[in-house]
Amino acid sequence: MQDGRRRLVGVVDDDAAVRDSLRFLLEAAGFGVVTFPSAGQFLAATDPDSIACLLLDHHMPEMTGLDLLRRLRRAGRELPVALMTGSPSAQLMRRALELGAVVVLEKPLTDQALFQFVGDATG
């Protein structure tokens, strides 16, 4: 049996419409969701160990998704991360995977890709 913590999905995206859409889809599927408008607010407001997986936008002001992923890994946080971007490139994908991202998802996300990542990450 899974507890609420294990099914908690973190979403970090500076676009409120994206955060709201992801929250709606994931909550309708039975997941708990916590959202953050910036990488800095995520770092300040949460214990990464309380989150089963993280959907992380790459293109954000102040700190990119790759920057946040790098900080999490340096701190020893190994939670599953999907990096989201509207403009994927081979270089971005390579860097994200080298830092331990599970997958790079192209925006707009498909429900199939979203639920595949979250389902795998939450077991």
pTM of the model: 0.92
Tokens of 41: 């607010």
- Give the residue-averaged pLDDT of 95-114: 96
- Note the pLDDT tens digit of each residue in 14-57: 999 999 999 999 999 999 999 999 999 999 986 767 899 999 99
Give the pair of three-digit tokens for residue 118. 């979250």
pLDDT band at 6 (very low <50, low <70, confident <90, very high): low
**How many CA atoms, within 13 angstroms, populate the side-chain half-sphere of residue 73?**
15
Q: What is the pLDDT of residue 45?
A: 83
Is the distance from CB of 9 to CB of 118 less than 8 angstroms? Answer: yes
Listed by start position, the domains of the chain span: 8-122
pLDDT value at residue 3: 44
- Rounded to whole angstroms, how far apart are CA atoms 35 and 62? 17
Look up the CATH number of domain 8-122: 3.40.50.2300
